[in-house]
Amino acid sequence: MKFLKLLLGLIIVCVLAVAVWLYYPQYQIYKAKQSRVATVSISKEDKEQKKIDTYLTDLEKINKEKIIHLGLGDSVMKGYGAQEGESYVDVLSNELSTKLNKQVESVNQGINGHTSTQLREEVLAHKYDTDITNADIISLNIGGNDILNSVKRSGYSQAFKEFSTLRDTYKGNMKEILAYVHEKNPSATVIVFELYNPVKTTESYYSLANKLLPKWNVILYDITSNKELIAETTKTINDKHLNYISDDGVHPNKDGYQQMADEVMYQLENTPK
């Protein structure tokens, strides 16, 4: 009887430990958002009278005939899964051009298959120095291939075992990338994207990957400040909006990239700075 009670106690402790491990990061993200300058619904009157400075009003103050929007990262930033001109970078640039009433040029340096380690190495090797220096807006999406490459190399089970190591590597890479970008161009508006679930929707591990996502994305809230705008990709690309995923089961489609751009535009308009 004592043994059964002990066993039951151990099971309860293990279940609670797993629950904390999975769900505590969601709480951390919630608290991090509370401590940052929150995105709020700013009234039309306040916007028109410019009573509140937002990321968008900062862009309106740029005294240039042409604004440059640079995209860095992987295939999601490149626009894989949609036609030419339908990438997030292109769509947001077009929306900003209308809002700001000036030309917004897209410079898309997204590379299919890129990992955070590859991007860090290229950034520190000065590959993008000119683009970074010239940009007024820098959008950054990277990290999905860090996980996918581990899956391709070792399978899902091993990739989940390596999850903590992958996170630590990603965190170090992102800190170096962002520090370098701000050093080269301290006045640029930097937009960093949350990672949405990179596992194919048809895979049995898709649901588990969804639960692990907050443990990955909380890194961004740990290492950034109000100098960066975190694009809440998980609001638009998720298991409730699978219609925004292309036929490959991983990348956004045309509508998905449109939703990403719309979410960023909303945050630019409604996040005080």
The model's pLDDT over 13-37, given as tens digits with 9 standing for 90+, comes to 444 344 444 455 555 555 555 556 5
pLDDT at position 69:
98
Whether the pLDDT of residue 2 is over 70: the answer is no
Give the separation between CA 261 and CA 59, rounded to whole angstroms: 16
Whether the pLDDT of residue 248 is over 80: the answer is yes
Q: Read off the pLDDT of residues 144-177 as tens digits, 9 standing for 90 and up.
A: 999 888 888 878 777 778 888 999 999 999 999 9
Q: Read off the pLDDT of residues 201-238 as tens digits, 9 standing for 90 and up.
A: 777 777 777 778 888 899 999 999 888 999 999 988 88
Q: For the chain, first and last CA: distance in Å?
A: 62
Give the separation between CA 134 and CA 131, rounded to whole angstroms: 5
The percentage of residues in the chain with a pLDDT greater than 70, rounded to a whole number, is 81
Looking at per-residue confidence, does 211 or 42 come out higher? 211
Number of CB atoms found within 10 A of residue 230's CB: 21
Task: Locate 62 and state its tokens.
Answer: 């740029």
Mean pLDDT score of the chain = 85
Q: What is the band of 113 on the pLDDT scale with cuts at 50, 70, 90?
A: very high
Indicate yes or no: pTM above 0.75: yes
Choose the weakest-confidence range: 44-48, 66-70, 75-79, 224-228.
Answer: 44-48
Mean pLDDT over 98-123 rounds to 97
Which is it for strands 137-141 and 66-73: parallel, antiparallel or unpaired? parallel
User: Which class for 262: exposed (0-12), middle (13-18), buried (19 or more C-beta within 10 A)?
Assistant: middle
Give the separation between CA 112 and CA 75, rounded to whole angstroms: 4
Nearest Cα to 70, choosing from 159, 119, 140? 140
